[in-house]
Structure 1
Amino acid sequence: MQIPSIRETLAFVRNAHAGAVAGGQPRWLRAVAVMNLLPAVLPGIKVTHEERQIALLRDILRTTAETEASLSRAGFPPEVVASVLRLTRFDAGFAHLEHLRVVAESKDLAAKRVAMAALLREERQAAGASPGETEEARARRRKAMTLMQRGLGY
């Protein structure tokens, strides 16, 4: 089976999120925004095809009916599926910062880059459109970004 292209991955994500809306826009657009921020995470380092796939798929297991098995059946490589699993916080009782600490301390560079790109997306979104964001939320995101920066080695 051939590895899905980015276009095929995006079609998979769009189909999985069919009808889902977040912030007034189709939910799958968040995944595209995260993918587009990958080059900003480690400037000068090439973004791989697998990292783009992981960015597009990063929250699909948590927010859709897709499963690890359905990702594998769709032809996504085991390394991509493993990174998507690593980025998925299934236990609602597991604190977000603790989950990010696990990702940051892993050897999974792709998952770390995608997690940081997701945080950058949140940061940019909050700077432009979230005047009601609490100081607590900003502080939590800053802590998360510091964790991921350490995990990425900067």
Structure 2
Amino acid sequence: MTSVAPVRATTMKSMMKTLGRCVVVALVSLSAACGQSGTSTSTTAPSTTAPPSAVEAFSGTLQPAGTNLHSFTVKETGYVEITLLGVVPQLVTGPSAPITVGLGIGTPNPATGTCLVLYQVNAQPGSAAQIVGTATAGPDCLTVFDVGDLTQPVNYTVIVAHS
């Protein structure tokens, strides 16, 4: 199962640092309240997640009202970053507004050939990841879908960085 939170890595590090401080303060306060201020407490260090160690590129053609599925395997629990690099109409007739498509991450359902989407966003192409979070080890899937704006097929490229 995949757990994804829409949080940037720098924000996540800051949150984890603050959380760590709160845990230490809570343990010291609890120890003092129980009359054990002179004894030491041992804590288990929070588990760490692996940084992305694999990068996969997925390209395809998305039809109006369509959804495309791409599968990948996370080797160990760690960060996952999904970046929509480009979306280009198949028939370019002049300048066009930026194209928005949906991106989703989830767990594949082999019985139905679908993806149980756990987190999704509407995204426009860019160099910054549109989905950043943590994925557990195992099979995962990416969906690229029309949010209702497509009037013709578009070609897209998505980069998935994971552990």
* TM-score normalised according to structure 1 size: 0.23
Higher relative contact order (CA 8 A, sep 6+): 2
Larger relative helix fraction: 1
* TM-score normalised according to structure 2 size: 0.22
Instruction: Tell me which structure has the larger Cα radius of gyration.
Output: 2
